[in-house]
Amino acid sequence: MPAAPAPAPRAGRGLELAEIFRAHGAAYRPTHTLSRAQRRAMHAIETCRTAALGGHRDTCDTCGAVQISYNSCRNRHCPKCQTLAKELCLRLQRGGGVRV
């Protein structure tokens, strides 16, 4: 089976690890030995902020605009989730407030 073509990066940013895992993870896993934790991390990263983890709808009380957000995996190895955690930690260390 030929390898899937590499996904094209979206405009304005580089290629994400999740995109690489989604494109090549299914072919990679059967041919490489991974620990259970590694498999779980790969799956978490692949599904982070996708419909696979569900989501929620936020509606603006003022204008009624609706925004759908997908849930995060919260895996400690996920770059998306850890980037947010790192930013919050840095803001707290700098003495800045954090809005939740």
In angstroms, give the least distance from the CB of 49 to Zn ion. Answer: 7
Q: Which of 29, 78, 87, 91 binds Zn ion (CB under 5 A)?
A: 78
Q: Which of 73, 87, 92, 98 binds Zn ion (CB under 5 A)?
A: 73
Tell me the number of residues near Zn ion by CB under 5 A. Answer: 6
The residue among 65 and 100 lying less far from Zn ion, judged by its C-beta, is 100
Q: Are strands 66-70 and 55-59 parallel, antiparallel or unpaired?
A: antiparallel
Taking alpha carbons only, the member of 9, 83, 72, 75 closest to residue 42 is: 75
- Residue 66 backbone phi and psi in degrees, to 5: -110, 135
Query: Is residue 41 within the footprint of Zn ion (CB under 5 A)?
Result: no
